[in-house]
Structure 1
Amino acid sequence: MKRVHVGTTAPKYHSGKWTWDESSESLRFHPYSDLEDANERFIMTNGFKFLRTINQEEELIYRQVFARPENTFDGDVVVVNDVRDLVLFMMPKEFLSIKFVDFMHRPAVHRLLHALVIYFEYFLRLVEFILIRRDELSGDMAQVQSEQTNEVKRIFSSHLSHFRMLVARNYSVIIKGEGDMQEFYHTKEVVNISSTIRDRAFHEQFLAVATQIIWITMHRRAYFIIEMEMNRLFRSEHFLMNNIHYLNFTTVERSLLYGRNNKIFNCRVQNSPMIQELQHVADEDMPILWIGERQYRGTDLRIAQVEMEYLIPGSQLNLADLSHGILGHPKNLYDTILSLDWPSVRFANFSKQYDPYNLLRQPGLQLPNIDEMQVRRMAKQYDHFYRVFRIYESCSKKMLNNWFNRDKIVQYYSSGGILKNVFMRGEEQLVTEEDRSDINKIVANYFDVMLKLRKQKATTIMTSDTGHKKQEAEFFC
């Protein structure tokens, strides 16, 4: 095994096997140095090979070169950017292009991934509910369904459609090339010709990476359900693979999961399920399309609940007792590849009475009021006075170049390069003669960083149409 000089840095994730040593009569741990032939090394996603695990050399390189630094906003908890960086490190080398890496670091893509996490959290709960009800309705002790049971199922289906609308709204911003996504639009400005082959490969890569991000965020469970639903959402059922691991739902179960707007047509005129959700939006659901853009003002409790789940940052979900996979959990409970470290959980002394991160409790569906849909139709809506802006911490050009040269960097350090930790960098700066920054510049940079990491700031502006004062609230993303 090649050695990497890292000073006092030690790996957190141990990948290897235990063997019995006859001489010492004890167990010895042998870390994996080459997992090319191991079955647990790779996982196939839409025909692409992603790393399932990493060895200790790759772990050290990832933690010191590619992982999100601890001095960033909420560096001690798991957020979407942590999962994204891990997937970018474990994705195939053919994905490494400046365009794709830059695309994955755009705010619009971050909002889409955030909406996908919320959607799949509720989708997996509903699939579990369907499988439990399937067992309860079969066999010798089968239960009889009532009209109230069917009404509750319709409410659950409408709730899932609300999150699907959020995903469709964020995805439409990308495919239309709005704002900073104009350079990723599939047609050129002058000739207006689409690059079909490149655009298709780009789309396939994004679907594979998004599937991996959602799978890791959901504690690496229900992989085939996530892969099946991800392909159905962004394509349609015409393009689903014939996989024996995919679940087969009945007509009633499909109507519950896919909603009333899901229609199957000829493959030449078929729209994706997300576009179908936007084509038929109920009047009471229209404010959902503005969630994240302006603050909702009305009496519809369902809209307020969806807005709360969408606007709360992943690092603060435990304050509202919400669960979106591993988001918001302390990093010290997870290893480098974001797998739950159960010894750390046991030492944390969680219990059913004190479980802020839903590690011991089983998050499930909350039973709604039986007359919720009638109450929502009678809800009132008022004019909005607040616009919401999400602050996104952009990626530096240097970091984008590191991702583009990922394989070269890994090969360099694996062949004998020295990884410098904070102590080695400090010693080198003391020995070498370099231009020292002025103290006033250091203080100014410090205040710039503190201003960037503020959770929110507000400014008062005057509107030209109504003359009323409006508040622009900015929330960190």
Structure 2
Amino acid sequence: MKRVHVDNYAPKYYSGKWSWDSKKDALHFEPHNDLSDARERYITTNTHKFMRTINQEEELIFRQEFVRSESSFDNDTVVIYDIRDLVLFLMPTEFLTYKFVEFMHKPAVYRLLHSLTIYFEYYLRMVEFVLIRRDELSGQMAQIQSEQTNDMKRVFSVYLSQYRMLVARNYSVIIKGEGDMGKYYHMKEIVNISATIWDKNFHEQFLACSTQIVWIAMHRRAYNVIEMEMNRLFRSEHFVTSRPEYLSFTPAERSLLYGRNSKIVNYRTQVSPLIQELQHIQAEDLPILWIGERKYRGTDIRIMEMELEYIVPGPQLRLIDVAHGILGHPKKLYNTLLELDWPSVRYSNFSKHHDPYHIIRQPHLDIPKIDAMKMRQMTEQYEHFYEIHNLFETCHRQVIFKWLRREKIIKFYRSGGLLTNIVSRCEKELATTAHGPRVDQIIANYFKVKSRLRKEAQSREGDDDTVASGRIGNNSPKEKNQVADMFYD
């Protein structure tokens, strides 16, 4: 069957319901025109209402105004930037402040969201493993648990604590106000007075958005598990509300999931589980704190695996056969809300032998060696030679101001603004009589931008002989964006 090319500006996500039309003896699709009162319109995260679904008009507005530019890096694959932009569009209006939108575009926040995605990928697998083992150990056909099973669980628990340690490392950079995070620190520099109310609201908003981002990245599954664990990580168990939809774990299961460093004390002296992971670090786990900053040199295979997962960008995860939710998947397999489009998946002809994105294969846990912990204690570490510098797509002030005008833009299009498709765009370009810049001016601007960006890169590198980067290509994303914007302007 021949597939027909679809316009990029046509709706991909159809919000509505199917019903049977007895007169026509066929299925009939009823689109949602007004979802303001529908129960499936919103989802509540920490008392904040996020939109769960959008109608076709909102979809066209989002794709025309707020979707990541085609000139950006790896535009054809799903990355954290795409999930973040979708959450910014779905989040409540009171979140739209300049400081919060700018905060969500910072590199330190990107690192934290990246580590959270890796952590929850394995945390959900561990929860599934715990629930399966609970069923196997109960009932009339209960199995006997051997000592080797307990050893395997201890190794799994240590591995999960190591991912939690990576999250804590990135989170501590933000709460200490290091670097460009200083402007978001709760203490004023001169008067030393804490902005407690502002900091509380800011933390609640970031926690709600992080929950939504991780939930979407995990294929929108296990929402209650993600929300419960996110609140426990950043708050502590004293402040996690008891809800009937949350799972309850036995002491043995809690010890497996929460690790050996999890301690519950009086709420006056209680710290969050993330900070507890940094207070008691084993000697063999110290290189984890430098993952993403220094290139590891040693014989610990576990540290090498974690470093490879962390520094490899999402679009290239398929090269190492690792899955972090939907990160790195082709956008053609997903609709506007980043939900799997199963007809596109069927046309891709995936199978268990050809499944680079782990869509057909179920998530699994590799059984570790029983003596894995003893082997790690005998590993050697050497002095590091190389530092890793990550390249991030800078966010211009115009992009932040556009997000602040989100409601006005939506209102403008709903009141009669033109949602352009590919046909109207071509007609407009053919009808215009304006001429662009001269060829010599374009070439001069091109070399001017290239020289300035190369000087900035050389000043950042300093005297380093080699810079290890997570990007592949001759030009940085910043260069590509600015050069492309210059040509289009």
TM-score tier after normalising by the smaller chain length: over 0.9
For residue 171 of structure 2, what is the amino acid of its counterpart?
Y
Identity rate, percent: 61
Instruction: Give the equivalent residue in structure 2 for 1:466.
Output: none
- Tell me by how many angstroms 1:399 deviates: 1.2
- Tell me by how many angstroms 1:261 deviates: 0.5
- TM-score, L = length of structure 2: 0.90
Is the contact made by 1:458 and 1:472 (CA closer than 8 Å) also made in structure 2?
A: no
Cα distance in 1 for residues equivalent to 2:452 and 2:30: 44
Is the contact made by 1:385 and 1:470 (CA closer than 8 Å) also made in structure 2?
A: no
Indicate whether 1:368 and 2:368 are aligned: yes
For residue 408 of structure 2, what is the amino acid of its counterpart?
K
Cα distance in 1 for residues equivalent to 2:203 and 2:20: 48
Instruction: Give the equivalent residue in structure 1 for 2:340.
Output: 340
Indicate whether 1:204 and 2:199 are aligned: no
Cα distance in 2 for residues equivalent to 1:131 and 1:417: 52
Cα distance in 2 for residues equivalent to 1:447 and 1:62: 34
Is the contact made by 2:9 and 2:64 (CA closer than 8 Å) also made in structure 1?
A: no
Instruction: Give the equivalent residue in structure 2 for 1:272.
Output: 272
Is the contact made by 2:9 and 2:63 (CA closer than 8 Å) also made in structure 1?
A: no
For residue 111 of structure 2, what is the amino acid of its counterpart?
R
Offset from partner CA, 1:7-36 (integer Å, 9 cap, x none): 983101111123455665544323212101
1:29 counterpart SS class:
strand
Aligned in 2, Cα 1:447/1:258: closer, same or farther, shift over 3 Å? farther
- Tell me by how many angstroms 1:391 deviates: 0.3
For residue 418 of structure 2, what is the amino acid of its counterpart?
I
Cα distance in 2 for residues equivalent to 1:291 and 1:263: 26
Cα distance in 2 for residues equivalent to 1:471 and 1:25: 69
Aligned in 2, Cα 1:462/1:315: closer, same or farther, shift over 3 Å? closer
For residue 475 of structure 1, what is the amino acid of its counterpart?
G
Cα distance in 1 for residues equivalent to 2:118 and 2:194: 32
Offset from partner CA, 1:129-176 (integer Å, 9 cap, x none): 111111111112211122211111110001001110110000000011
Offset from partner CA, 1:182-241 (integer Å, 9 cap, x none): 111111110011111111000000000000000011011000000000000000000001
Mark the runs of 5 or more structure 1 residues left unpaired by the alignment.
1-6, 464-468
1:50 counterpart SS class:
strand
Instruction: Give the equivalent residue in structure 2 for 1:91.
Output: 91
Is the contact made by 2:8 and 2:422 (CA closer than 8 Å) also made in structure 1?
A: no
Aligned in 2, Cα 1:446/1:53: closer, same or farther, shift over 3 Å? farther
Offset from partner CA, 1:406-462 (integer Å, 9 cap, x none): 1111111011101234554454455445462232443466689999999xx999978
1:271 counterpart SS class:
coil
Indicate whether 1:474 and 2:474 are aligned: no
Cα distance in 2 for residues equivalent to 1:43 and 1:157: 32
Instruction: Give the equivalent residue in structure 2 for 1:160.
Output: 160
Cα distance in 2 for residues equivalent to 1:110 and 1:171: 11
For residue 411 of structure 1, what is the amino acid of its counterpart?
K
User: What is the root-mean-square deviation of aligned Cα atoms in Å?
Assistant: 2.4
Cα distance in 2 for residues equivalent to 1:97 and 1:266: 36
Higher mean displacement: 270-279 or 432-441: 432-441
Is the contact made by 1:459 and 1:471 (CA closer than 8 Å) also made in structure 2?
A: no
Is the contact made by 1:78 and 1:330 (CA closer than 8 Å) also made in structure 2?
A: yes
- TM-score, L = length of structure 1: 0.92
Is the contact made by 1:66 and 1:85 (CA closer than 8 Å) also made in structure 2?
A: yes
Aligned in 2, Cα 1:460/1:29: closer, same or farther, shift over 3 Å? closer
Q: After the TM superposition, which residues 227-238 of structure 1 pair with which residues of structure 2 at under 5 Å, given as runs?
A: 227-238=227-238
Is the contact made by 1:187 and 1:195 (CA closer than 8 Å) also made in structure 2?
A: yes
Q: After the TM superposition, which residues 1-150 of structure 1 pair with which residues of structure 2 at under 5 Å, given as runs?
A: 9-20=9-20, 24-150=24-150
For residue 388 of structure 2, what is the amino acid of its counterpart?
V
Higher mean displacement: 166-175 or 427-436: 427-436
Instruction: Give the equivalent residue in structure 1 for 2:325.
Output: 325
Aligned in 2, Cα 1:205/1:475: closer, same or farther, shift over 3 Å? same
Cα distance in 2 for residues equivalent to 1:460 and 1:100: 27
Q: How many residues align?
A: 464
2:35 counterpart SS class:
coil
Aligned in 2, Cα 1:225/1:75: closer, same or farther, shift over 3 Å? same
Is the contact made by 2:40 and 2:52 (CA closer than 8 Å) also made in structure 1?
A: yes
Aligned in 2, Cα 1:20/1:130: closer, same or farther, shift over 3 Å? closer
Indicate whether 1:176 and 2:171 are aligned: no
Cα distance in 2 for residues equivalent to 1:451 and 1:357: 38
1:346 counterpart SS class:
helix
Offset from partner CA, 1:296-337 (integer Å, 9 cap, x none): 000000000000000010111111110100111111111000
Instruction: Give the equivalent residue in structure 2 for 1:3.
Output: none
- Tell me by how many angstroms 1:71 deviates: 2.3
Instruction: Give the equivalent residue in structure 1 for 2:486.
Output: none
Instruction: Give the equivalent residue in structure 1 for 2:350.
Output: 350
For residue 473 of structure 1, what is the amino acid of its counterpart?
A
Is the contact made by 1:323 and 1:357 (CA closer than 8 Å) also made in structure 2?
A: yes
Cα distance in 2 for residues equivalent to 1:459 and 1:357: 38
Instruction: Give the equivalent residue in structure 2 for 1:304.
Output: 304
2:188 counterpart SS class:
coil
Instruction: Give the equivalent residue in structure 2 for 1:221.
Output: 221
Cα distance in 2 for residues equivalent to 1:448 and 1:59: 38
Offset from partner CA, 1:89-133 (integer Å, 9 cap, x none): 000111111110000000000000000000000000001111111
Aligned in 2, Cα 1:90/1:460: closer, same or farther, shift over 3 Å? closer
Cα distance in 2 for residues equivalent to 1:427 and 1:76: 26
Mark the runs of 5 or more structure 2 residues left unpaired by the alignment.
1-6, 472-476, 478-489
Aligned in 2, Cα 1:422/1:394: closer, same or farther, shift over 3 Å? farther
Instruction: Give the equivalent residue in structure 2 for 1:244.
Output: 244
Aligned in 2, Cα 1:461/1:212: closer, same or farther, shift over 3 Å? closer
Cα distance in 1 for residues equivalent to 2:137 and 2:326: 33
Aligned in 2, Cα 1:316/1:461: closer, same or farther, shift over 3 Å? closer
Is the contact made by 2:387 and 2:468 (CA closer than 8 Å) also made in structure 1?
A: yes
Instruction: Give the equivalent residue in structure 2 for 1:4.
Output: none
Is the contact made by 1:294 and 1:387 (CA closer than 8 Å) also made in structure 2?
A: yes
Is the contact made by 1:120 and 1:226 (CA closer than 8 Å) also made in structure 2?
A: yes
Is the contact made by 2:45 and 2:208 (CA closer than 8 Å) also made in structure 1?
A: yes
Is the contact made by 1:460 and 1:472 (CA closer than 8 Å) also made in structure 2?
A: no
Is the contact made by 1:101 and 1:403 (CA closer than 8 Å) also made in structure 2?
A: yes
